Amino acid sequence: MEKENFEELKKQLLARIDTEDLLEVKKVNDLIRLHELDAACDEVIDRDGVSITIENGSQKFIKSHPSMNEKMKINAQKIALEKSIKFKLKATPAPAAPSTVEGEPKRGSLI
């Protein structure tokens, strides 16, 4: 994600919370930071690949990229933080008009 996208995400998130509550604003800022760290991990993984080769003297083995584990930790933190943010409820749409069959009101069942 580009820096501009993080700014847009921050604006959208701030619009959905009570900005007078400094704790909620801090949570949004922390969430944005976690998204930035996740994007940085993506860049490193894209550059190096999902696995790396480790050479220790005569030993040589392949293991998963350390950023893969960090991405999993960051994702868990993002989910927990998103659950803790008190988002404002959006107005629900008005219920739809009762359905009709060929212009006539729908009849109920006999049971």
Tell me the pLDDT tens digit for each residue of 78-99: 999 999 999 987 766 666 666 6
Domain annotation covers residue 44: yes
Domain annotation covers residue 32: yes
Q: Domains in the chain: how many in total?
A: 1
If you search the block for the tokens 């998103």, which residue do you land on?
82
Domain limits for position 47 = 6-84
**pLDDT digit string, tens, across residues 32-84:** 999 999 999 999 999 999 999 999 889 999 999 999 999 999 999 999 999 99
Domain annotation covers residue 102: no
Cα(85)–Cα(25) distance, integer angstroms: 9
Which of 1-10, 29-38, 48-57, 99-108 ranks highest by mean pLDDT?
A: 29-38
pLDDT bracket for residue 18 (50, 70, 90): very high
Domain annotation covers residue 76: yes
